[in-house]
Amino acid sequence: MTNTKEDRDARRTVILEGLNNGLSKEKIAEQLGIHPRMVRRDLSRMQHSKDPELKQAQINAREKALEAKELISNRAGEQFKRTTGMTFQEKTFSNMMSFYEPEIRQIMKATEQDIAIRKLPSSVVKTLKRNGIIASGWKSPQVTQKARMHLAESHSIK
């Protein structure tokens, strides 16, 4: 295939279609029946001329790649949810609530919760914050509503 403007324009549409479909440069070249170097040159020309359709095609390709990665990475989470009936985050929250229940109940009984929270070791406070049990406001940390609801449910069960 020659490298005239008409040929480049014809390849441009195929290249943009291929990028939108998530194909690699080599697959696009194979589809066109040309050397991958020619596709790379056409892409660099399109980038140099700031082709808006190329930018959109590259954005679409990135989104498709992220979707594919997300599907692959979330398989373990889906399997965990099927077997346990809850997500990793829900299970972790439940485990932390049961593990730190004495400390949380002690905080709930205190008249000033922020002082009771500050008396805990910093590693415990960090863990409780990370798992959504304690919410640190502007100045006064407090037990979250979600944690209060969980304590009320677990107390009514016992």
Q: Which residues 6+ apart lie within 8 Å of 11 measured at CB?
A: 1, 32, 34, 38, 39, 42
- The answer, yes or no, to whether residue 2 has pLDDT greater than 70, is no
H or E stretch at 142: strand 141-143
Number of domains within the chain: 2
Residues 90 and 115 in one domain: yes
102-158 residue pLDDT tens: 999 999 899 988 889 989 999 999 999 988 899 877 778 888 899 999 888 876 655
Residues 96 and 61 in one domain: no
Residues 58 and 103 in one domain: no
43-62 residue pLDDT tens: 888 888 888 888 888 888 88
Specify if 79 maps to a domain.
no
- Dihedral of the alpha carbons of 89, 95, 99, 105, in degrees to the nearest 10: 70
Which structural domain, as residue segments, surrounds residue 68?
5-73
Specify if 78 maps to a domain.
no
Residues 111 and 153 in one domain: yes
Q: Is the pTM of this model over 0.85?
A: no
Specify if 28 maps to a domain.
yes
What token pair was written down for 31?
A: 């589809």
Q: Reduced to 3 DSSP states, what percent helix, strand and coil does the chain have, rounded to the nearest 5?
A: 75, 5, 20
